[in-house]
Amino acid sequence: MTEPVLRIEGLTAGYGSVDVVRDVHLEVGKGEVVALLGPNGAGKTTTLRALSGLVKASAGSISMDGQDLTGLTPAARACRAIAHVPEDRGLFRGLTVAEHLRLGPRGERLDAQLAYRYFPALPHIADRRAGVLSGGEQQMLAVGRALARRPSLLVLDELSLGLAPVIVEQLLPVIRAYADESGCAVLLVEQHVHLALEISDRAYLMAHGAGSDSHDAAALRRDRSVIQASYLGGQEWTPTADREKERDGEMQ
Amino acid sequence: MQTVVLFALLGLGSGAVIAGIALGVVLSWRGSGTINLAAGATVMVAGYVFWAVRTGFFGFALQTVPAIILTLLFMALYAVVVELVAVRPLRSASPLAKLVASMGVLLLTQALVLLIFGTSPLNSPSVLTSDVVSVFGVAVPEAQFILAGIVVVLAAGLAALYRFTRFGLATRAASESESSAALAGLSPNVISLGNSVLGHVATGFVGILAASIVGLSATTLPLLIIPALAAALFARFTSFGIACAVSLLIGISESLLYQASNESWFPTQNGSAVPGVQQVAEFLLIVIALWWRGSSLPLRGDLVERSLPMVPDQDRLAARVAPVAIACAVALVVLPSDFRQAVTTGLVATVLCLSFVVIMGYVGQLSVVQLALAGVAGFALSHLEAAYGIGFPLGPILAIAVATVLGVLIGASALRVRGVTLVVVTLAAAIAIEQFVFANPDWGGGQSGASVESPTLFGLNLGTDASFRGLDGSLPSPVFGLLALVVTVVLYLFVANLRRGDLGRRMLAVRSNERAAAAAGVNVRAVKIQGFAIASFLASVAGVMYAYDFRTVSANSYGTMSALSLVASVYVLGVTLVQGGVLAGFGAAGAVIPLILQTWVLPENRVSVYMQLIIGTGLLIQLRFCPDGLLVASATKRERRARASRAAKALTAVGAKPQGGV
């Protein structure tokens, strides 16, 4: 297999002295859409924030195209073609839609036309401030802005938060289409599990800060028991069982 | 009418300086979320450096243009240093800490300028043309118009920069949400640095040009921050145009006020105009700006959670207080006279610092008006005695009541204002009181000061001239010192106990989140008013004690810069801890620590400037390395250790083995 775009190995991260995420492994390949699923408090958002550098990782490594990201600031990581749409959408209320599509790191020109092509509603509201847009429009802008940066890794945190399911159903296929067309790697966290699995190639499950091995999205769609177990607790879900055993062995 | 127009034009020069400072304030706010109290000092630094390179102070004299360029380069460097020392390390700190850091910069730069260039004002060589134009037959310097024009162009240029360039866009974005900006690949550090350099260079440029018009003085220029802050408040710390326009209007109004003070209808006292009307007007302007433009600044989304200093528990009070109190009592009798005096002054200053602990540490409101309130109490005491013959003990009680009521009024006028903006109000209030009340020949002490009789009770002299003398038989008498010791210990216990009580807990709730406190049933307004009342009371008691200590009150003892120094030293030691108040008190002007330094370490005549230098430096170091304050850091460490050992004991008590790992 070729080098994945994103490789997270043994990531441990948290807030203060409390680790929220422990020993998480995941990979995302080129053109692949990977979902990160799990109940509230599982550590999904923290994993994404650690990936972007907003949370410091206390152990493990995160690498993009084989290059280690450790020690880089969030801004420097963003400049490595990571586009992260956070839970709060990461917009600036005082800036207009058009200004958002001009706002990039030094030396990077955003492709506003690309955003307008994927979200045809955006050109009509180009002069409005982000603060007065509806939730759906804001999310379109957030995703459109991320796409306009032509990232090699797109990170999406709860696109569906606060949106009607019908809008989510419109947004997610756009992500799939973009990944297929551009070869961008996509890592998404989503509470609408079935919608996420429909557009994903693979999925990782998380619970209580521990991650699982990779699952095939199609298999998860067919067999809901694994996911139910990860949300509700049960035998079917083993958080990366082998590694867990190894670690127990070491401790004893 | 003609004179009105004329004086309006003459105000353009000072208006332009205020505008230059206001632009710097807006840039700092937008770039890093700091309310930069040192923006006025920027004008001072630029003016002095330009004067020095132009006149050959450093051994070489340059022509005007190279001198300007060199000065601006220096200002850029200065901006980088300030950014690295006082802004970047505090990115994660509370807005209060950022503001205190800029206060540290202000104290430090002013002390440095005073040490390097001396205290007397200088005449800067003029940069702009010295031609005059005739307006209504009166010569008006052309430079006034040019300077005002340059400031307007600067403001327009900055507005355009923010509107049309990528840098401006990035700054606007980052000031809204730093984390979103970071995710968008914008570095908040670089943006903050860029704005800082821009601000210092722009303000410095205005300072260079204006130095010959407004004069170079290390004592007056930094205080131009007050009108500049008023203008910035009107601009909501955002609009360059409004900040510039309001600044020019303030300059014009001040000039008109000056002209009016020569008119027959202007209120006079003893044949001369009432002093300080301008400062009162500035204070009122700030209050109006705050009511009109809303209660708070535009919100900033900072990258890191804001943290407040810890408030350690107060335990084993008696064991802690008794040795210090006994040591003070012995010192008051045994030590030579100048040290006895210093111990007494330290005790009085401690009471003043306790008022900062209450209002800043417990309620989380940065108020710098306390020293001025102390002054009000002192002057009230003197005048009650001189005019109405009211002496001890009714006189001090009335004086304390008057000053406390004034403090509560100032607090009430700022009720809608929280945290950072409050400092603007109280700073303006302090300066207004200083100029309007203290400098007034009738209400205050005028130039000479007002005398105070020693307190006597039942024929017993309790003052510093009592018959009971120290071991060396000289004045001052330890009697007043012992009285001050008793008062200080009582108030210390009161403030320490406040932390443990219900009101203290409500204060802490208000400090950490006003809305959450209100939702939990705490009456935020009432708590704030109570906080102001207690703090004002403490300050007033200190003011009365000061008056008895020195047996005279004069405006100099209650100056605003001394107030800032005091606030800073309390902050360094730990604003949330009563012990911090004590140490800061003994480090205050005239107290023990400066006396020790003066006697054995420092050159005698400039000890206050050196103290200011030490405090400013200490503040920046403390904010960098233990942002909660020196004493608080050690107290929390002790607390944590005690908790850990308690937990271990509890474990062994139930027979469980302490377990390794998490």
Q: Which residues of chain B are within 8 Å of residue A98 when distances are taken between CB atoms?
A: none
pLDDT tens digits, B37-92: 999 999 999 999 999 999 988 888 889 899 999 999 999 999 999 999 988 888 77
The nearest CA of chain B is from the CA of A223 a distance in Å of: 36
pLDDT at B177 over 50: yes
Q: What are phi and psi of B131, to 5 degrees?
A: -65, 160
Which residue ranges make up each domain of chain A?
6-81+152-251, 90-150
Output the pLDDT for position A143.
92
pLDDT of B15 reads 93
- Determine contact, residues B418/B524, Cβ cutoff 8 Å: no
Q: For residues A192 and A161, is the Cβ–Cβ distance under 8 A? A: no
* pLDDT over 50 (residue A92): yes
Q: How far is B21 from chain A (nearest CA, A)?
A: 25
Give yes or no: residues B226 and B80 share one domain.
yes
Helix/strand/coil (H/E/C) assignment for every residue in A46-115: HHHHHHHCCCCEEEEEEEECCEECCCCCHHHHHHCCEEEECCCCCCCCCCEHHHHCCCCCCCCCCCHHHH
0.95 surpassed by complex ipTM: no
Question: In chain B, what percentage of residues exceed pLDDT 90?
Answer: 31
Nearest-10 crossing angle of helices B64-82, B39-55 = 140
Does B172 contact A84 at a Cβ distance shorter than 8 Å? no
More confident residue, B251 or B292: B251
Share of chain B above pLDDT 70, in %: 94
Tell me, what's the pLDDT at B37? 92
Q: With CB atoms and an 8 Å threshold, state whether A54 touches B183.
A: yes
All residues of chain B having their beta carbon less than 8 Å from the beta carbon of residue A108 are 185
DSSP code of residue B335: S
Residue B517 belongs to a domain: yes
Cβ-contact A230, A237 below 8 angstroms: yes
Asked if A75 reaches chain B (Cβ–Cβ under 8 Å), the answer is yes
Considering only CB atoms, A75 lies closest to which of B169, B182, B661, namely B182
User: Model confidence over B109-154: pLDDT tens digits?
Assistant: 999 999 999 888 888 888 887 788 887 777 888 888 899 999 999 9
Distances (CA, A) of B100 to B123, B359, B515: 31, 15, 24
pLDDT at residue number A33: 94
Specify the residue for token string 């070869």.
Answer: A183
Closest CA to B132 of B141, B124, B123: B141
Domain tally, chain B? 2
Select the CATH number that applies to the domain covering A6-81+152-251 from these four: 3.30.70.1230, 3.40.50.300, 3.40.50.450, 3.80.10.10: 3.40.50.300
**In whole angstroms, what is the distance from residue B335 CA to residue B347 CA?**
15
DSSP for B223-252? GGHHHHHHHHHHTTTT-HHHHHHHHHHHHH
A252 vs B contacts (CB less than 8 Å)? none
Banded pLDDT at A240 (limits 50, 70, 90): low
Encode pLDDT of B181-238 as tens digits.
888 888 888 999 999 999 999 999 999 998 888 888 988 899 899 899 989 988 888 8
Token pair listed for B327: 């040591």
Phi first, then psi: give them for residue A63, nearest 5 degrees.
-135, 145
**Which among A53, A74, A92 is the nearest to B173, CB-wise?**
A92
Q: Answer yes or no: do A105 and B184 touch at CB < 8 A.
A: yes
**A21 beta partners:** A13
Q: Is the peptide bond before A173 cis (omega within 30 degrees of 0)?
A: no
Q: Are residues B339 and B252 in the same domain?
A: no
Q: Which of residues 87-146 of A touch B (CB under 8 A)?
A: 88, 90-95, 99, 102-106, 108, 145
Classified as helix, coil or strand, B451 is: strand
Kindly state the DSSP code that residue A168 receives in the 8-state scheme.
H
Q: Which two tokens stand for residue A173?
A: 């296929």
- Which pLDDT band, with edges at 50, 70 and 90, does A129 fall under? very high
Q: Which residue of B has its CA nearest to A82?
A: B183
| Among the listed residues B507, B563, B557, B512, the one whose alpha carbon sits nearest the alpha carbon of residue B533 | B507
Q: With an 8 Å Cβ cutoff, are A74 and B183 in contact? A: yes
Nearest CA in chain A to B305: A15
Q: Does one domain contain both B143 and B245? A: yes
**pLDDT grade for B304, boundaries at 50, 70 and 90:** very low
Nearest to B185 among A75, A99, A251 (CB): A75
Task: Report the C-alpha gap between B195 and B182 in whole angstroms.
Answer: 17
Domain closes at, from B509, B524, B558:
B558
**pLDDT surpasses 90 at B437:** no
Domain contains B271:
no
Reported as a single tens digit per residue, the pLDDT across A9-51 is 999 998 877 888 988 999 999 999 999 998 888 889 999 999 9
Nearest Cα of chain A lies from the Cα of B185 at a distance, in angstroms, of 4
Does A250 score more than 60 pLDDT? no
Residue B206 and residue B334 share a domain: no
Distance in Å, alpha carbon of B162 to nearest chain A alpha carbon = 12
Name the residue among A54, A103, A106 with its Cβ closest to that of B173.
A103
Chain B residues with CB under 8 Å of A104 CB are: 184-185
Average pLDDT in chain B:
85
For residue A106, which residues of chain B lie inside 8 Å, CB to CB? Answer: 166
Distance CA B538, CA B558 (A): 15
Report the gap between the CA of B180 and the closest CA in chain A (Å): 5
CB B619 within 8 Å of CB B93: no
Read off the amino acid at residue A241. Answer: A
Most confident of B14-23, B261-270, B361-370, B560-569: B14-23
**Burial zone of B652 (CB within 10 Å; 0-12 exposed, 13-18 middle, 19+ buried):** exposed
Beta bridge partners of A203: A35, A215
Structural domain includes residue B225: yes
| pLDDT band with cut points at 50, 70 and 90 for residue A248 | low
Question: How close, in Å, is residue A23 to chain B by CA atoms?
Answer: 15
Which of A75, A92, A106 comes nearest B176 by C-beta? A92
- Considering B558, B585, B618, which residue would you say is the last residue of a domain? B558
* Shared domain check, B358 and B235: no
**B660 to chain A: nearest residue by CA?**
A251
Band (A234; pLDDT cuts 50, 70, 90): low
Do residue B172 and residue A79 have CB atoms under 8 angstroms apart? no
Interchain pair A52, B184: CB under 8 A? no
Nearest to B433 by CA among B531, B539, B310: B539
What CA–CA distance (Å, rounded) separates B661 from B229?
54
User: Using one digit for the tens of pLDDT, what is the confidence trace for B310-322?
Assistant: 888 777 788 888 8
- CA distance readout (Å), B122 to B16, B55, B117, B118: 20, 11, 9, 9
The verdict on residue B459 lying in a domain is yes
Q: What is the mean pLDDT of residues A197-215?
A: 88
Same domain, B6 and B84: yes
More confident residue, A250 or A27: A27
The shortest CB-CB distance from B179 to any of A54, A102, A108 is to A54
Position B446 pLDDT exceeds 70: no
State the Cα–Cα distance between residues B68 and B204, nearest whole angstrom: 10
For chains A and B, CB pairs below 8 A equal 69
Closest chain A residue to B304 measured between Cα atoms? A54
Do B14 and B255 touch, CB atoms closer than 8 A?
yes
Residues in B touching A74 (Cβ below 8 Å): 179, 182-183
- In chain A, residues with a C-beta closer than 8 Å to the C-beta of B167 are none
The predicted pLDDT at position B297 comes to 55
Q: Is residue B351 part of a domain?
A: yes
Confidence of residue B662 (pLDDT cuts 50, 70, 90): very low
Q: What pLDDT score does B581 carry?
A: 87
Q: Could you tell me if B322 and B470 are in contact, meaning their C-beta atoms sit under 8 angstroms apart?
A: no
A15/B contact by beta carbon, under 8 A: no
Whether residues A75 and B661 touch (CB distance < 8 A) is answered with: no
Q: What is the pLDDT of residue B204?
A: 95
Q: Closest chain B residue to A15 measured between Cα atoms?
A: B305
The chain B residues in contact with chain A (CB within 8 A) are: 166, 169-170, 172-173, 176-177, 179-190, 661
Distance of residue A210 Cα from the nearest chain B Cα, in angstroms: 16
* Cβ contacts of A251 on chain B, cutoff 8 Å: 661
Q: Are residues B483 and B332 in contact, defined by beta-carbon separation less than 8 angstroms? A: no
Please judge whether A54 and B187 are an interchain contact, meaning their C-beta atoms are less than 8 angstroms apart.
no
- Burial of A212-234, coded b for 16+ CB within 10 Å and e otherwise, reads bebbebeebeeeeebbebbbeee
Check whether A236 has a pLDDT greater than 60: no
Cα separation values, B357 from B326, B364, B536, Å: 23, 9, 12
Highest mean pLDDT among A184-188, B600-604, B625-629: A184-188
State pLDDT tens for residues B544-593.
998 888 888 887 778 888 888 888 888 888 888 888 888 888 888 878 88
> Chain B partners of A145 at a C-beta cutoff of 8 Å?
184
Q: What is the mean pLDDT of residues A48-67?
A: 90
Whether the CB-CB separation of B86 and B101 falls below 8 Å is answered with yes
Cα–Cα nearest to B168, from B152, B150, B185, B186: B186
Average pLDDT, chain A: 86
Q: Which domain holds residue B11?
A: 2-155+199-263
Confidence band, pLDDT 50/70/90 cuts, at residue B27: very high
So what's the pLDDT on residue B295? 53
Task: Judge if B223 and B104 occupy the same domain.
Answer: yes
Predicted confidence at residue A32, as pLDDT, reads 93
- From B530, B558, B586, the end of a domain falls on B558
Q: State which residue of chain B sits closest to A110, comparing Cα positions.
A: B184
Q: Supply the pLDDT for residue A189.
A: 92
Question: Out of A74, A102, A103, whose CB is closest to B182?
Answer: A74
Are B374 and B479 part of one and the same domain? yes
Which of B313, B309, B344 is closest to B579 using CA atoms?
B313
* Chain A residues close to B172, C-beta within 8 Å: 92, 94-95
pLDDT band at B98 (very low <50, low <70, confident <90, very high): confident
Partnered with residue A96 across adjacent β-strands are A129
DSSP state of B598: I
Answer yes or no: is B301 within a domain.
no
B74 contacts B54 by C-beta, under 8 angstroms: no
First to last CA, chain A: 36
CB B632 within 8 A of CB B310: yes
pLDDT band at B660 (very low <50, low <70, confident <90, very high): very low
C-alpha A222/C-alpha A99 separation (Å) is 44
- pTM metric for this prediction: 0.85
Look at residue B105 and tell me whether its pLDDT is greater than 90. Answer: yes
**Does A52 contact B at CB distance below 8 Å?**
yes
pLDDT at residue number B184: 87
With CB atoms and an 8 Å threshold, state whether B166 touches A78.
Answer: no
The total of other beta-carbon atoms located within 10 Å of residue B36's CB is: 35
